[in-house]
A and B are shown apart, each in its own frame.
Chain A
């Protein structure tokens, strides 16, 4: 066994000999003699987003000619990243830049650790105002929107053709089509993960709002109706909750017709689908305009601890990152929405959209999108409280009303400091 392993290994090494330099190694070389190094802590574990970010950084560093460089440091998942940053604050070892959700920014601001973007002299003109405003806290913008995804509708074009159905544009059409297809196939065709993200689309599109007069309300009338709607979909046999893994790893578990899922998953959908995968903007309240997608993804922030040279370098880097060209390349590679409105006109994007209509869908959808509340406790609320309530209701462990009432109580206790 040992010998065959050694043989395998040596063959492996021969195979590795024909290698291209990796972005990671290029960056290392670029940073080797740099006088100023600005670290960027990020939560991309791998795949296209990490590769795309590294490629952007290689391109930026190249322009610096070795005198200064940005160094990306992967810190695990987003949750790991925020844990690590908390430890870093305590130890006074903060990087120059990091990725942060809106609620992370709110949390870091409690420790007065983040620089307002205006102090960097960075011009945010041309960026999607929806994204920029989301990082505004008490009138100041604290983050530069970076990797933003929106939900879009994925559908099975072969199945729609089989029933001569049109792509639905309103909720009513969507339900009618999903019902018809499900009856024909004798299995639910709308796949959804019972979590806060899926819920958010239906909730926002039906006119819901989490904040009412500055108070966080989970058990509003629209909220309960939204959850009842999903529960009824499961009962009526057109909606199928996916509780294990990603939707894109569950196509074979039934007949996939539709999902309302993040644009960042496109490449995984495409690699898994044997059917003709289509994308379209989310069905709206009426057919006149698309529904409201939940915006997810992070912003780049600059920490106060960075010294003047690092700040200057970070500013230059952010300016590069949000340029239409960089956003176009990054968006096309990852399925994230270009945050610069000018990216839609960049040749990279127009050429790409012609061959890849899904990217056009994302650009359209990004104009109809909403954010979750930017409060420090939101991460905990969305996973452990709201997400839990949605799951319980969908799986029939509680009625929608009871589940959301319980969630509201938990949120009130949490925000009042009675629980942690």
Chain B
């Protein structure tokens, strides 16, 4: 029988290990939590230096009101402000004090604003609450109904049916702001996601990012596999020299090549095309080096045996080297894919039209010179990393299987 103290010590050790692991994973997960929660915040919540842990939009108490107001303006799920509809907001005050003043803020830089111009606002006091009715008297329907309300500070307390997105002091009044008073449940919770989606053509951006990244991976694999095989397994004069030349290009920083590459592409008339996004990145020194090392680690006997059976170099590459280097190719694929998917400067330089731009450039739409729309930015970031996170889990499984399949430890 073991002495008792030892078991205690083992247990304490385990606890310590778990505590460290948990602390580590919290640190790792925190930025993700922050991104997700900020993507659901109103601008005022997102801009607070003191963290808001649970955004208003995640509180179920607000969902019922969001659904009811949304149904009045359009639909229970996505809300709206359709022609002819009235949206009625109650503000519970208990007593009848000064009448609240309700306005519809005009969007920036509009030469005219049919939404504000055609809205009829009525306020009436019922038993214990103010009832604000906004009626869309025009022919046009709108996605959002932004509303601003001034209510006197002399009210001891007041509670609007739907929690406002911002509350700020304005002289003798409180100014309450709703970015959308008729949101519907989904329109309320996913407000930033929907607005982010409208800000830029993200569908096209997604396609471009995926297409260029996949093309780079596939094209790059073909080139890297052939080059690496030649450098690893085919004897020819000056092989070492060629290899060192290829490796030497790693020493040239990418920024130095930016302008020469740009000029080259301009002369080829390839600017603002998929060629410009894909072709310059097809030959990857990293890929060649990685696969060459992989091929070198394969036993020579395999290739000797194949040669005795009459296999050409092509057959040796296709039937022996490639199947045995799946993990290497996956590693290369992941790195290339991530590199291409996350690229910012190159796509920015070689493309002009929105049709050719990539997801990372889309994220720039939320960053300004004097402030940022953090909610929109985080919503778009969440959308942009979603496929990567999903892909990572899939690739991780592939990776482990790949190692097992190759039989190389």
Contacts and interface: CB of A to CB of B under 8 A. Distances in A.
A312 interface: no
B49 A252 contact: yes
B77 A18 contact: no
27 contacts: A16-B194, A16-B198, A18-B78, A18-B82, A18-B142, A19-B198, A24-B201, A46-B200, A46-B364, A47-B365, A49-B369, A51-B108, A51-B109, A59-B111, A80-B345, A87-B258, A87-B263, A248-B370, A249-B47, A250-B49, A252-B49, A271-B47, A276-B171, A329-B111, A333-B108, A333-B109, A333-B110
Contact of A46 (B142, B266, B373): B373
Contacts of B141: 18
Contacts of A76: 348, 361, 364
A84 interface: yes
Interface string B359-397: 001001111111111100000000000100010000000
Interface residues of A, number: 69
A84 B349 contact: yes
A416 interface: no
A52 B107 CA distance: 10
Interface string A137-157: 000000000000100000001
B11 to A, nearest CB: 36
A215 B186 CA distance: 61
Ranked nearest first, the 3 interchain pairs of A and B with the lowest CB-CB distance are A268-B371, A52-B109, A333-B109
Given A18-B142, A252-B50, 11 more contacts: A11-B78, A16-B198, A56-B109, A76-B348, A84-B348, A87-B349, A91-B265, A91-B271, A246-B370, A268-B370, A274-B167
A91 B166 contact: no
A77 interface: yes
A264 B369 contact: yes
A14 B78 contact: yes
Interface string A210-242: 000000000000000000000000000000000
Interface in A43-60: 45-52, 55-56, 59
B220 interface: no
Interface residues of B, number: 63
Interface in B6-54: 43-44, 47-50
Contact of B370 (A73, A158, A262): A262
Contacts of A157: 169, 171
B168 interface: yes
A165 interface: no
Contacts of A345: none
A253 B50 CA distance: 6
B266 A93 contact: yes
Contacts of A272: 43-44, 47-48
Given A45-B365, A48-B109, A12 B197 contact: yes
Interface in A241-288: 246, 248-253, 261-262, 264-265, 267-277
B197 A16 contact: yes
Interface of B: 43-44, 47-50, 74, 77-78, 80, 82, 107-111, 141-143, 166-171, 186-187, 190, 193-194, 197-201, 258-259, 262-263, 265-267, 271, 345, 348-349, 352-354, 361, 364-374, 386, 390
A261 B354 CA distance: 33
Contacts of B262: 87, 90-91
A91 B361 contact: no
Interface string A10-44: 01101110111010100000000000000100000
Contacts of A39: 352
B108 A158 contact: no
A276 B370 contact: no
Nearest to A93: B266
A297 B354 CA distance: 24
A91 B269 CA distance: 10
Q: Which of A248, A261, A276 has the most chain B CB atoms closer than 10 A to its own CB?
A: A276
A276 B169 contact: yes
B373 A47 contact: yes
Contact of B349 (A50, A83, A253): A83
A83 B370 CA distance: 21
Interface string A53-89: 0011001000000000000010111101001101100
B198 A90 contact: no
A162 to B, nearest CB: 11
A415 B353 CA distance: 37
A20 B168 CA distance: 30
A300 to B, nearest CB: 17
Interface of A: 1, 5, 11-12, 14-16, 18-20, 22, 24, 39, 45-52, 55-56, 59, 73, 75-78, 80, 83-84, 86-87, 90-93, 149, 157-158, 246, 248-253, 261-262, 264-265, 267-277, 329-330, 332-335
A332 B370 CA distance: 16
A5 B382 CA distance: 13
Contact of B368 (A5, A45, A83, A253): A45
B43 A78 contact: no
A45 B357 CA distance: 13
Given A11-B77, A83-B349, A274 B198 contact: no
A75 B348 contact: yes
B111 A91 contact: no
Nearest to A246: B371
A51 to B, nearest CB: 5
Contacts of A1: 390
Contact of A48 (B43, B48, B108): B108
A50 B266 contact: no
Contacts of A83: 349
Given A73-B352, A87-B259, A274-B169, A329 B199 contact: no
Contacts of A274: 44, 166-169
A273 B168 contact: yes
B194 A252 contact: no
Nearest to B74: A18
Given A90-B262, A267-B371, A46 B44 contact: no
Contacts of B259: 86-87, 90
B371 A91 contact: no
A11 B186 contact: yes
A51 B111 CA distance: 12
A330 B194 contact: no
A251 B49 contact: yes
A16 B167 CA distance: 29
Nearest to B171: A276
Contacts of B186: 11, 15
Given A15-B186, A246-B371, A275 B258 contact: no
Contact of A50 (B49, B193, B365): B365
Contacts of B198: 16, 19, 22
Contacts of B78: 11, 14-15, 18
Nearest to A355: B103
B108 A52 contact: yes
Nearest to A254: B49
B138 to A, nearest CB: 13
A73 B271 CA distance: 14
A252 B43 CA distance: 14
Contacts of B353: 73
Contacts of A80: 345, 348
Contacts of B143: 18-20
